[in-house]
Every structure is written in C-alpha cells, then in structure tokens.
Amino acid sequence: GESVGLHLPTLSVQEGDNSIINCAYSNSASDYFIWYKQESGKGPQFIIDIRSNMDKRQGQRVTVLLNKTVKHLSLQIAATQPGDSAVYFCAESGTSGTYKYIFGTGTRLKVLA
C-alpha cells in the first residue's frame, strides 16, 4: 500500500507485482517529462521520458503515462524486482527556454520479497 513517511511518501509492493508511481507537475507550459531513479548515495538515473505530444510511452518493463488535462504523470513498473527499490522522481522541463528541470518530491519504492 501507499503511506506517507517522515518526508517521502513510500510505496510498498510485493515482488512480482506491478508498481504505479504518481506525480503531479506544476506548469502547463512544460513540454518534456522525465522519470529518474535514485538509489541511496547515487545520482539520478534516467528511466524513461515523454514529450507533451504523447500520452503514453513504453520502455523495458516501464510505461509512462501523461495526462495533460490534470497535469499528471505516472510511472508503471511491471513485475517489480528487488533491484527496483529506490526513490523515484519525476521532472518537468521546457519552461523559459532554459531547459532546467523542476523535480517532484519523490516516492520511495520498497519491494517486499
């Protein structure tokens, strides 16, 4: 289930189940969205991206869905594995022409064996 921890919301998922991580973005003018995975003590690792002219994009075991109407982004991970345990951040870009990223607050994914 999903719960709110001290700082980061945490999603606990049984190994082999599918995970869905949600993100609300702030700027309707953003045109590029990215999901990153961050393991403890490491930098963000690119997972998948999507442009605003699409509403769905699939990668290997991951799918990103974009709903521009409600400014919502989701990351679906199929057959979640222990190695998927990490903090996941969404980021938006495209405002002001500087390409800077605005990151969401993050969700901690815990995969239960």
Partner 1 sequence: NAGVMQNPRHLVRRRGQEARLRCSPMKGHSHVYWYRQLPEEGLKFMVYLQKENIIDESGMPKERFSAEFPKEGPSILRIQQVVRGDSAAYFCASSPSGSQEQFFGPGTRLTVL
Cβ proximity of 88 and 107 under 8 Å: yes
Q: Does 43 bind partner 1 (CB under 8 A)?
A: yes
DSSP letter at 98 equals T
Q: Helix, strand or coil for residue 97? A: helix
Q: Does 106 bind partner 1 (CB under 8 A)?
A: yes
- In the complex with partner 1, the residue whose CB is nearer, 18 or 45, is 45
Site for partner 1 (CB under 8 A): which residue of 77, 86, 89, 109?
89
**Least distance in Å: CB of 71 to partner 1?**
17
Site for partner 1 (CB under 8 A): which residue of 36, 50, 66, 84?
36
Q: Does 53 bind partner 1 (CB under 8 A)?
A: no
Q: Does 8 bind partner 1 (CB under 8 A)?
A: yes
- In the complex with partner 1, the residue whose CB is nearer, 80 or 107, is 107
Cβ proximity of 57 and 69 under 8 Å: no
Residue 84's contacts (CB-CB under 8 Å, 6 or more residues apart) are: 19, 37, 77, 109, 111
Residue 24's contacts (CB-CB under 8 Å, 6 or more residues apart) are: 70, 71, 72, 73, 104
Please report, as ranges, the residues that interact with partner 1 according to CB under 8 A: 6-8, 32, 36, 42-46, 49, 89, 91, 93-94, 96, 98-106
